[in-house]
Amino acid sequence: MEISLPPRVTKRAFERLAEINANLKSPKALRVAVEGGGCSGFQYMIELGTPKDDDLVLEEAGGKVLIDSVSLPFLANAVIDFSDEIIGARFVINNPNATSSCGCGTSFSL
């Protein structure tokens, strides 16, 4: 039986978040959530925000990544990373709980 752990955020993701915050007057946290919808049943929502009472806060070098309590079980053992490729730069989620995902990588099914 696999032990459920909170998601892990890579150093590269925290570094990119620091770059984003360097241009803001008031630094923001990166919010990662799971919502119903998308072509595969669930979709990731990634945006800048501020902490709420029920958030898990993952912090490194002053950067914060927020996961709400409803999304947390869907993101157990996941890795939040930043990808900078020819086709574009974006935060990505490697989620071992997903049984399939769409081609764009923003929606998945369990």
Q: In the prediction, which pLDDT does 23 show?
A: 84
Q: In the prediction, which pLDDT does 105 show?
A: 53
pTM equals 0.85
Q: In the prediction, which pLDDT does 4 show?
A: 77
Per-residue pLDDT, averaged over 3-9, amounts to: 87
The CA distance from 46 to 7, in Å, is 14
CATH number of 8-109: 2.60.300.12
The CA distance from 11 to 90, in Å, is 14
What sign results for the dihedral spanned by CA atoms 35, 71, 108, 19? positive
